[in-house]
Amino acid sequence: MLNLIINADDLGLTPGCNQGIIKALTDGIVTDTTLLINTDYTQHAVELVKLHNINRVGLHLNLTWGQPLLPSREVPSLVDENGRFRRKAAEAVTYMKPSEIKRELTAQVEKFQATGLGLTHLDSHHHVHTYPEVLDIAIDLAREVGVPLRQGNMVVCQAIRSACAITTDAISLDFYEQGATLEKLQEIIKNQRYGTLEIMCHPAEPEQLLYDISSYNVWRTQELSVLTSAVMREFLEANNVRLMGFDGLQA
């Protein structure tokens, strides 16, 4: 049997993301989500998940969107001249000092814990935790709080497991852009017959704000349609796929 985690990234990015993710969790096949803790819409997200009796979510570690939780003067290597995170991860990590990464990500974990929500797992915005400059710090945090950490590729998976931290057997990042179709999602699932697979997704309700701030916009609405399709639910049942969240991985 395949154990399948379908995780919605970007909870807290915009109201449309928040609403779409809630719909995908309550009416669809999404089983977990990860919260950006430093945005204008974080509190809206927290209130919304609690309203729908969702008491546990993951944390989307963030070093590439918005402003850090800590004052810029305390983490100068993480920000540009405007005090904001650099948006391109591959560039941003070349500036970052490990001590400042550790302090900011620790602050993000602590702010998450203050929401009263339980923590299911850690991953990151723009996969920044998979870069060597950040990976060991993310692994240490995952071990400290006792939750799984998203992999990204086999190198990252091996590093996580070598440190005796928890991750899935496999991950797919292919349900994205032109791949955000019913057929592609079914193909991804069919290609992983056993173990635990995470599929990353980004569902959202349509809104102008997403077009203003993100190049990944119209696809999010398409993802939501696929993830709430009755056809997908029937497909999972027919193929003996067990849906689970990251809490099930910990068990």
Give pLDDT tens digits for 137-193: 999 999 999 999 999 999 999 999 999 999 999 999 999 999 999 999 999 999 998
The residue behind tokens 């931290």 is: 165
CA dihedral 231, 236, 239, 240 (to 10 degrees): -150
Cβ atoms of 101 and 137 closer than 8 Å: yes
Burial of 242 (0-12, 13-18, 19+ CB in 10 A): exposed
Whole-angstrom Cα distance, residue 89 to residue 213? 16
With contact defined as beta carbons under 8 Å apart, do 233 and 6 qualify? no
Tell me the per-residue pLDDT of 185-228, one tens digit each, with 9 for 90 and over. Answer: 999 999 998 999 999 999 999 999 999 999 999 999 999 999 99
Name residues whose C-beta falls within 8 Å of residue 161's C-beta, 6 or more positions apart in sequence.
Answer: 167
2 neighbors 242 (Cβ within 8 angstroms): yes
CATH number at residue 242: 3.20.20.370
What integer best gives the mean pLDDT of the chain?
A: 97
Give the count of domains, the chain.
Answer: 1
Adjacent-strand bridge partners of 122: 59, 149
Phi-psi region of 172 (alpha: psi -120 to 50; beta: other; left: phi over 0): beta
Structural domain span for residue 49 = 2-250
pLDDT confidence bin for 250, thresholds 50/70/90: low
Is pLDDT at 251 greater than 60 in this prediction?
A: no
Cα(96)–Cα(63) distance, rounded to whole angstroms? Answer: 10
Global pTM? 0.96
Q: Does position 108 have pLDDT exceeding 60, yes or no?
A: yes
Separation CA 249–CA 40 (nearest Å): 31
Q: Dihedral through CA 24, CA 4, CA 57, CA 22, nearest 10?
A: 0
Helix axes 132-145, 98-114, angle to 10 degrees: 40
Report the alpha-carbon distance of residue 63 to residue 88 in Å, rounded: 10
Give residue-wise pLDDT tens across range 27-44.
999 999 999 999 999 999
Report which of 21, 57, 31 is spatially closest to residue 242, judged by C-alpha positions.
Answer: 31
